[in-house]
Chains A and B, each alone.
Chain A
Amino acid sequence: MVEKKTKNQKRIGVFVCHCGINIAGTVKIDEVLRRLKDYPSIAVVKDHQYCCSDPGQNLIKETIVKEKLDGVVVACCSPTLHEPTFRKAAASTGINPYLCEIANIREQCSWVTEDKDKATEKAVKIIKTMVKKVQYDEPLTPISVPITKRAMVIGAGVAGIQAALDIANAGYETILVEKNPSIGGHMAQLSETFPTLDCSQCILTPKMVEVKQHPNIKLFSYSEVKGVSGYVGNFKVKVKKKTRYILPTKCNGCGDCAIACPVSVINEFDAGLSKRKAVYRPFPQAVPNIFTIEKKGISPCRVACPAGVNAHGYVALIAAGKYQEALDLERQANPFASVCGRVCNHPCESNCNRNQVDKPIAICSLKRFIADYELKKGRQLPPPVEKVKFDKVAIIGGGPAGLACAYFLAKKGYPVTIFEALPELGGMLITGIPEFRLPRPAIKADIDYILAHGIDVKTNQTLGKDFTIEDLFNRGYKAVFLATGASKGLKLGVPGENLSGVYQVLDFLRFVNLKTKDLTTEVNGKRVAVIGGGNAAVDAARTALRLGAKEVSIIYRRSRREMPANEWEIEEAEKEGVKIVYLSGPTKILGKDNKVIGIECQKMELGPPDATGRRMPIPIPKSEFTVETDIVILAVSQAPDTSLFPDLEKTRWGAIVVNPDNMMTSQEGIFAGGDLVSGPATVIEAVAAGRKAAEGIEMYLEGEELKPAEKPNPEIAQFTPEEYALFKKEPRAEMPKIPLTERKSFKEVELGFSEEEAKREAQRCLNCSVCCECMECVKACEAEAIDHNLKDESEEFEIGSLVLATGYEVLDKKILGPYGNGKYPDVIDGLQFERILSASGPTSGEVRRPSDGKVPKRVVFVQCAGSRDPENYMPYCSKVCCMYTAKHALLYKHRVHDGEAIIFYIDVRTGGKGFEEFYKRATDEGVIYIRGKVSKIFEQNGKVTVWGADTLTGKKVELDCDMVVLATAMVPTPQTKTLATILKTALDEQGWLVEAHPKLRPVETMTAGFYLAGAGQGPKDIPEAVAQASAAASKVVALFSQKELQHAPIIAGVDDDLCSGCGLCVGVCPYQARELELKEDGKTKKIKVVEVLCEGCGACSAACPSGAAQQKNLTDEQIQAMVKAGLEE
């Protein structure tokens, strides 16, 4: 150990550098030497013209030895330049390098004044302060840090690929992370490359394959970096591996899934010029060569359906012409395709995202189409399901809830028996809904389908009369499902309800629907008034019209907005001639000779909302009026008849109480659902209840523990307002209907879509969630590689160094207002033209314009579209556009021999090997260059018109052409910003990654261990990106070639005696280098310093209230002494 000398014993040598005339031109060196000669501790003062030169360093070394110096001050330039130089020189003589300090008398001294006296005075003071510092300096040893010799490269475009290959070839393990499903970046999209016209893919794909096959490269495609911690040589990086829903080990890339997939969306790889499927591979040469299923949450139509029908799925399948598959998918959640296709209240449509564009998809009518289509084609009913279970289930009530429950249980193999009081099945479907809305054959179609699964039916069996629930259990049924509905009509509670001519709506409808009582003579030619505003009221009104009523009116106490009946049914009723009297409540039914002659009503106004959210009607005093009528139909509301279930727990309003998780009532083994539980509700809600009960019964019978009902919180797929604005408006298919003149019979009003209409309507679907989960791909995949239940995964890697190769995007032409905001199909960007030129592109390399596929005979190219335009867009030059535009024009002329290529330019910049020659070639081959900017581009009558200026002739230019190619600016990818935040690395004003020094450290960042490659750092072409990538790789390799890393020892420690454990320094430390830990006593706390993490910034020293946090060789005492020395006269 070096013997420690106290501060006054140190012998310090001062070496004053002239730095040519940089210092000596202003600072009077002689005077400095003279004034320092006798300063305490200074043993020797010398000067040299260039201390950093070999003779200069030798002078220092020799003097140290000869004068037996303990410390050195070199008065010269900034320590960032030569501190390492002089410390190394000093160390070579045996003294501790941290006892060699720099007194900077150049940057802030000699350079900033011409006053020699003042400069000299300041130089002396600076040197004195540094002498004081050395007096207090202690010998330090650098901290050794191990290196994890594994690299990570983020971004696998050509730069990332090159960097990864170079590092891997040097023998180090490399993790390559790419956000897209395939590596290759933008270069894979390009056609040919300038100036040699090499095929881009041909030169790139071998490198991509090399990446895949390289033993040292671990590729994580479709993955993103989510977090980074640690320090150079020892980073921890968290990577999120997005699931492809496809097992990479099994997928063989055959593409059968994509053929089966019904969903088509915009193909980003073709820059939006073509479509791809929801399961896709960006391009055939993709690496890895596996497919990916894209999902963006769940489509709102699916979430809205009470029964969980996959509406998006069957709509997508209809769009693809797969009608049977669509129907099969629909029936997985709802066996009533034919019924619900006609009478569903379709909440799916109200929630359809297409509402934000124009009108929702006609989902309900599409369902009807597939049901009708199956019948029309002639169907074969499914064979009965084998009874693999033995526990018998009894279902009481053959309405939609009972039938649905039976269907789902039968599919599971349970023996199921339905007990129905009426002579036929259907419940409210046959008794309550008139035939002009829901014809009998449509109901029969669904019931036949359900029963085909193997269900016993016992009709004319009334509970309480023919059997009891107890009987059923005695007969060996293990579970009973009650679905007896809600058919008890409620009374109004006004005088006159018992008069002849007053009907309960369900009685009225049942008489007509089941033809059990002929009402024709009673209604024909009469006036009918229906009281109520629900679907039953509207159905009754329309039925009365068909029975020949002279006049039909609906009396409703609130306004149209609150009317619970379906809006479209109300509209039809009005068209057919039903009058609706709003805001009127009956107070008395008037009679004469026990026969109805009218209704006395009172006018209402709307008050505050009630419990249902609808505004409450409030009677207006003295506003009575009379409606003359012969028949009154009461359609106020219905309630379940629960008198048969005295032992079951009921709600206050008389419905059966069930456990919402399994639909079991208060008695074990007895389940209930449908209107009996919910009160009057819709068919689809009854189906949902039946299905849930079936699941509950299964859990009960299998003795499974009751699972609480899943309350999924699905991420509902949505678009941004900007995205909505991009969708083209397309009219919703109109349902064909029979003319009003034919509405006197009970013929079905709606006729259904033709195949063509259905397909076109289904194709309006926006595919909100992309994948519709129809599972067609699963069926198609022979390799069994698809699993829709896979989840994203996260993995953490320990790495030593990181290369950022995040690349670029082209500026979105939607923001270029004067050039049409992206609304003209034949105004495309450079990347789109690359795809058009590419042999693997949407036109197979033929130049055809997007709007109509014509070969464009005149193409205008606009350079600097968004570049070099500081007022409006990007201030910088995008560097590659001049060359690729020349290439575009040339390739266009090669493909279209009689075509005319005109380029608008500001300057043509051809700095690069072979670039100017290439530009010359373009002009020689007839490409026309016009120097000037383009002010406006618009499309009219199939022509694109360009307004611009020719600044060489000073004339305005107006050109008609067939297509315009905009050389849009290069901009950083949006992920660059996210990543920079995660990595805490700097971005410039435009969002490009910032290098450590623009000239001397172009591939390094300010964070040690992070390097830059490619266009993420700024616009550049392929050779430049590749060169930078190799440079970054060599930096990584140089780092890894060291045994261990040295960390500067100028760190802040802690004086345990002074530390009170307040923890203030923990919060201010930007490097997480300070931690609070318990002292040995187990009670009080103290600070622990993680030395390798400390960067010596001094934040803790400033924050520490007790002075316990002291930075090595920059202690408070030391700094005070230095300040004093600086202030000495």
Chain B
Amino acid sequence: MRYPYYPGCTLYTKAKNLDRCARQSAQILGFELQELETWNCCGAIYSTVTDDLAAQVGPIRNLVQARKMGNSLVTLCAACYNVLLRSHNFLFAPGNEKTRKRLLEFLEEPYDENMKVLHYLEVLKNDIGWDKIKVKVKKNLKGLKVAPYYGCLLLRPAEELKFDDPDNPKVMDELMATLGAEPIDFPFKGECCGGYILVNAPDIALKCSKTILDSIIAAGAECVITSCPLCQYNIDNQQKLIREKSPGFKKIPVFYFTQLLGLALGLEGEILALDNHYVDPKPLLIQKGLING
């Protein structure tokens, strides 16, 4: 199986580990992520202004590129997934026929409704299947207590994304259980990490991150996974500030889900990019016997 793949900007820079582990894991699981020949910014935030068509051009251009290669597009970054999927929905929403015509005429490229914007997790769950992943596990993550943190962009608006139950999401929990780890339930799986508000109101963002982290730690997790580079950044890096303000705070490593997937499937060394974290995850993995010291 081969899927057109849209990495997005962060996956080429700060979130290399999210991207590389995903591509390598895909190979082990028997599918390929084929990067779009040309792509641009996804738009980062879905524009809810209905007549702001310029904001839609970017994401739709990516979709058009993908359509040339197939009828699906896989992404990893929760934000990219959110924007691309909603832009596609916008094009084909009832009543938007004229807008669609204008946009596609502007892009001078054909595009149709037969396109599915998929998150990598959806490919794992629906196309590959947990059973098949289970037999490929080389390093069982048994004994590792993982808090799957979904954030907002992967889940909401739920009726549009239809990704998972926004109040009780399960897909990453199921993936972790498949890999042998113990998924830890906590009540803030889908709450906001603080997002971009970090830039202009860092105190509020800090409070968001701390609420989530406190809950995760209280629930007994040893590490966190996420699929969103922004969540990863906030939840991981904010621990520095949290430590400054509350010295008793015990740090907890924050992975991308693809890192643990890769680890379980037998990836090693550089590819896992375990140095690319604020809170060093290596001691935990050494303690669990998952990597060598």
Cβ-based interface call for A821 (8 A): yes
Q: Is B129 an interface residue (CB 8 A)?
A: no
B218/A821 in contact, CB under 8 A: no
Contact partner, B165, options A817, A820, A940, A941, Cβ 8 Å: A817
Residue of B166, B168, B186 with highest tally of chain A CB at under 10 A: B168
| A 435-472 binary contact with B (CB < 8 Å = 1; else 0) | 00000000000000000000000000000000000000
Closest to B188 in A: A938
Is A940 a contact of B167 with CB atoms below 8 Å?
Answer: no
B215 touches A (CB below 8 Å): yes
Q: Name which residue of chain B comes closest to A818, CB basis.
A: B167
Q: Mark B156-179, 1 if CB is under 8 A from A, else 0.
A: 000000000111100000000000
Residues of A within 8 A of B (CB): 817-818, 820-821, 936, 938-941, 945
A-B contact pairs, 19 of them (CB 8 A): A817-B165, A817-B166, A817-B167, A817-B168, A818-B167, A820-B187, A821-B167, A821-B168, A936-B187, A938-B187, A938-B188, A939-B187, A940-B186, A940-B187, A940-B215, A940-B218, A940-B219, A941-B218, A945-B187
A940 to B168, CA, bound (A): 16
Residues from chain A with a CB closer than 8 A to the CB of B187 are: 820, 936, 938-940, 945
Interface size on B, residues (CB 8 A): 10
**Complex Cα gap A613–B206 (Å):** 60
Chain A residues with CB under 8 Å of B166's CB are: 817
A726 → chain B, closest Cβ, in Å?
13
Question: Which residues on the A side are within 8 Å of B218 (C-beta)?
Answer: 940-941
How distant is the Cα of A705 from the Cα of B164 in the complex, in angstroms? 62
Q: Which residue of B lies closest to A938 (CB)?
A: B187
Tell me which residues from 214 to 242 in chain B have a Cβ below 8 Å from any Cβ of chain A: 215, 218-219
A-B pairs, top 5 by smallest CB distance, nearest first, are: A817-B167, A938-B187, A821-B168, A818-B167, A817-B168
Chain B residues, CB < 8 A from A820:
187
Residues of A within 8 A of B168 (CB): 817, 821
B166, closest chain A residue (CB): A817
CB of B134 to closest CB in A, whole Å: 14
Chain A residues with CB below 8 A from B167, complex form = 817-818, 821
Shortest C-beta distance, B64 to chain A (Å), equals 34
Q: In the assembled complex, which residues on chain A have CB atoms less than 8 Å from the CB atom of B215?
A: 940
CB distance from B33 to the nearest CB of A (A): 32
Whole-angstrom CA separation of A938 from B187 in the bound complex: 6
A945 — which chain B residues lie within 8 A by C-beta? 187
- How far, in Å, is B151 (CB) from chain A's closest CB? 15
Residues of B within 8 A of A939 (CB): 187
- B43-85: contact bitstring with A at CB < 8 Å (1 yes, 0 no)? 0000000000000000000000000000000000000000000
Residues of B within 8 A of A821 (CB): 167-168
**Which chain A residue shows the least CB distance to B215?**
A940
- B45 to chain A minimum Cβ distance, whole angstroms, is 23
**Most chain A beta-carbon neighbours within 10 Å: one of B166, B187, B188:** B187
Cα-based distance from A817 to B158 in the complex (angstroms)? 12
Chain A residues with Cβ under 8 A from B165's Cβ?
817
Within the assembled complex, what's the spacing in Å between the Cα atoms of A820 and B188? 11
Chain A proximity of B167: nearest CB distance (Å) = 3
B156 to chain A, nearest CB (A): 12
The complex places the Cα of A634 from the Cα of B219 at a distance, in Å, of 55
Query: What is the bound-complex CA distance between A820 and B186, given in angstroms?
Result: 11
Residue of A nearest to B165 (CB): A817
* Nearest CB on A from B105, distance (A): 36
Measured between C-beta atoms, what is the minimum distance from A531 to chain B in Å?
28
B186: A residues at CB distance < 8 A = 940
Complexed CA–CA distance, A193 and B166 (Å) = 38
User: How far apart are B287's CB and chain A's nearest CB, in angstroms?
Assistant: 23
Residues of B near A936 (CB, < 8 A) are 187
Query: Nearest CB to that of A816 among chain B residues?
Result: B167
CA distance A882 to B57 in the complex (A): 51
In the assembled complex, how far is the CB of residue B72 from the closest CB belonging to chain A, in whole angstroms?
28
A938-B187, A938-B188 known; 9 other A-B pairs, CB under 8 Å?
A817-B165, A817-B166, A817-B168, A818-B167, A939-B187, A940-B186, A940-B187, A940-B215, A940-B219
How many Å from the CB of B204 to the closest CB on chain A? 12
Chain B residue nearest in CB terms to A945? B187
Q: Give bound CA distance, A821 to B168, whole Å.
A: 8
Chain A positions within 8 Å of B219 at CB level? 940
Nearest chain-A residue to B185 (Cβ)?
Answer: A823
Give CA–CA (A818, B168) in the complex, Å.
Answer: 8
B169-209 interface code vs A (CB 8 A; 1 in, 0 out): 00000000000000000111000000000000000000000
What's the Cα separation between A101 and B152 when bound, in Å?
A: 68
B160 to chain A, nearest CB (A): 14
Smallest CB separation, A381 vs chain B (Å): 48
**Which residue of chain A is the closest to B168 with respect to CB atoms?**
A821
Q: In whole Å, how far is A357's beta carbon from the nearest beta carbon of chain B?
A: 13
| Shortest distance from the beta carbon of B110 to any chain A beta carbon, whole Å | 36
Assembled-state Cα–Cα distance A939/B219 (Å): 11
Nearest A residue to B219, CB-CB: A940
Q: How far is the CA of A1101 from the CA of B123 in the complex (A)?
A: 59
A817, B165: Cα distance in complex, Å: 8
Closest Cβ of chain B to A968, distance in Å, is: 16
Q: In the complex, how many angstroms separate the beta carbon of A55 from the nearest chain B beta carbon? A: 59
Residue of B nearest to A936 (CB): B187
Interface residues of B in 98-138 (CB under 8 A from A): none
**B272 CB → nearest A CB, Å:** 30
Measured CA separation A945–B165 after assembly (Å): 21
CA distance A815 to B118 in the complex (A): 26
From residue B9, how far is it (CB to closest CB) to chain A in Å? 33
Closest to A937 in B: B187
A1032 CB to closest chain B CB (Å) equals: 41
CA distance in complex: A820, B165 (Å): 12
Residues of B with C-beta under 8 A to A818:
167
Complex CA gap A945/B191 in Å reads: 15
Query: Complex: how many Å from CA A1030 to CA B218?
Result: 57
**Distance A817 CA – B156 CA, assembled complex (angstroms):** 14
Bound complex: CA of A941 vs CA of B215, how far in Å? Answer: 9
| A821 to B187 CA separation, bound complex (whole angstroms) | 11
Q: Which residues of B contact A938 (CB under 8 A)?
A: 187-188
Instruction: Quote the shortest CB–CB distance from B99 to chain A (angstroms).
Output: 26
Nearest A-chain residue to B191, judged by Cβ: A936
Minimum CB–CB distance from A860 to chain B (whole Å) comes to: 16
Complex: A622 Cα to B187 Cα, angstroms = 61
A817 to B166: give the CA distance in the assembly, Å: 8
Give A255 to B165 CA distance when docked, in angstroms.
45
Q: What residues on B are CB-neighbors of A940 within 8 Å? A: 186-187, 215, 218-219
Instruction: Give bound CA distance, A821 to B185, whole Å.
Output: 13
Nearest CB on B from A872, distance (A): 10
Bound-state CA distance A941–B220 (Å) is: 11
A397 to B149, CA, bound (A): 65
A945–B167 alpha-carbon span in the complex (Å): 15
Residues from chain B with a CB closer than 8 A to the CB of A941 are 218
How far is A532 from B100 in the complex, measured between Cα atoms in Å? 69
For the complex formed, measure the closest distance between the CB of B283 and the CB atoms of chain A, giving whole angstroms: 26
Smallest beta-carbon distance B189→chain A, Å = 10
Chain A min CB distance to B236 (Å): 22
* Cα A939 to Cα B166 with chains together (Å): 17
